[in-house]
Amino acid sequence: MTALLRWRPGRIERYVLIQTLKALGIALAVIGGLVMLIDYVEISRGVGDDAELSGLRILGLTLAKSPAVILQLLPFVFLFGTLGAYVGLNRRSELIAMRASGVSAWRFVLPSAGLAFVIGILTVTALGPIAASADGLWQRERARLSGSMPGERQEAIWLREGDDGRQVIIRAARQDRAAGRLLDVAFFIYTVGPDGTRAFSERIDAASATLSAGRWRLVDAVGAQVGQRAVTYQTLDLPSSLADEEAFERFARPQSTPFWSLWRQIQRIEQAGFSSTAYRLRLHQQLSLPLTFAAMAVLAAAFSLRLMRLGDLARMSAAAVVLGFAFFFLNQFSQALGAAEVVPPFVAAWLPPVLAALAATTLLIYTEDG
C-alpha cells in the first residue's frame, strides 16, 4: 500500500495521459456539439412553437437540457477518444518503439484506464449533480412555457405520503402557488396493518389545504370515517411527512435527481408507498459509471493495439463503432429489464460495465501475451 501511495507516473505514462486527454477533449467537443445542435433545433421547433422565444433564450434552454444527454453519452467519448489517442500513437510508431524497448502494454494502457476511472468519480460526485439540476430546470421551464397560467395550475394534483402505520392519498383540483395552497382537496386515509395490507379508514374534503411546519391546515373541511356520520370542521390539522415545497412538486424523475439526493429520495418514495425501482436503478448506474469509463478506455486501447498489428485501420474503426453501439444497446436493454423489475436494479446496472471490463481485460491479455 505504501509503495502504491508513493507511485508517480513516469515519462511514458505522462506522455500517454497527455495524448489521451487531448483525444478525449476532441471527442467530447464533437459529441457535445452534435447533442447541443440537435437539442437547439428540437427546442426551437417544440417549445419555440408554443411560446415565442428569442434565439438567446433557446440557447439557454439548450444549455440546461444538453448536459444530461452528454453525460449519458460519455462512454462513447472514452471509447472513441481513447481509440483516437492510441491510433495516433500507432501511426507515429511510438507504441511500436515502446513495446520494442520492452515496455509492457499494461504500463501505457492502465494510466488511461485510471484517468477514465477518476473522471468517472468526478462525473458522479460533481458533474452529474450539476447536470441533474440543469435537467430539472429544463423540465420546469418546459412545463411552464407549455403549461397554463403561471400562477395557477388547472390540472389535478396527486400526492402520496405516509409511514409504516398510515398512508394518505391527496387529490387537489388545482393549486394557488402564490398563496401556498391546494384548492378543492380530498384526503383519502388508509391504515396499514402489520402484514402491510392497507384498509380504507377516512376521507376528508376541504376547500383549501396549506402545508406548514409538518402539518396540513385544512379549511372548511368535511370528514367521514367508515360507518360513521360526516363531521364538519372549520379548520383541521393533519400531521404530514412532506416538506413544504413538496405540496407543489411531484417526485423529480430519476434523471433530474442529483446523486447525493438519490438515497433520501428512495426513502421518501418507499415511505409514501411508491415503487423506488427506477431510482435504485439510477443510483446503481451512477455507482457503476467509473467502471464503465475505465472499461471503455481499456477496451479501446486493447482493440487498437491488436488491430494495429494486422494493419487494417478501416476494420478497426468500423469494429470500434459497432462495439460502442453494442455496449449502448446492451446497457439500454439491461436498463429496460431493471425498470420493468424483470431483474434486480443492482444486476441491471452493473452487468453491462462488468461484461465490458471482462471483455476489455481478456482482449488486452490476448493482445499482450498472444
Amino acid 250: pLDDT = 53
- State CA 136 to chain mean position distance: 11
Q: Over its length of 370 residues, how does the chain's per-residue pLDDT go in tens digits?
A: 344 344 566 777 888 888 999 999 999 999 999 999 999 988 888 775 556 777 888 888 899 899 989 998 999 999 889 888 888 887 777 777 777 777 777 777 888 899 999 999 999 999 999 998 888 888 878 877 765 434 444 567 778 787 777 888 888 877 776 666 888 999 999 888 887 788 888 999 999 998 887 788 999 999 988 888 888 999 999 888 776 555 555 556 777 788 888 888 888 777 666 678 888 999 999 999 999 999 999 888 877 775 555 556 567 667 767 877 888 888 889 989 988 888 999 999 999 999 988 988 887 887 766 5
Distance CA 218, CA 93 (A): 77
* Signed CA dihedral, 345, 346, 347, 348: sign only: positive
pLDDT at 51: 62
- Per-residue model confidence (pLDDT) at position 352: 92
pTM of this prediction?
0.75
- Residue pair 202/224 in contact (Cβ under 8 Å)? The answer is yes
CA–CA gap between residue 42 and residue 210 (Å, rounded): 38
Q: What is the pLDDT of residue 46?
A: 74
Could you tell me which residues come within 8 angstroms of residue 254 by beta carbon, excluding any fewer than 6 positions away? 262, 278, 279, 281, 282
Report helix, strand or coil for 323: helix
Distance CA 180, CA 174 (A): 11
Q: Which three cell numbers stand for residue 58?
A: 433557446
Structure confidence at residue 124 (pLDDT):
93
- Report residue 46: phi and psi, to 5°: -90, -80
- CB neighbours of 191 closer than 8 A, spacing ≥ 6? 165, 166, 198, 199, 201
Q: What angle do CA 135, 113, 313 make, to 5 degrees?
A: 100
Asked if residues 304 and 317 have their Cβ atoms less than 8 Å apart, the reply is no
Q: How big is the CA angle at 346 (ends 340 and 351), to the nearest 5 degrees?
A: 95
pLDDT score recorded for residue 153:
44
Spell out the domain ranges in the chain: 9-146+278-369, 152-274
Q: How far apart are CA 298 and CA 206, in angstroms?
A: 61
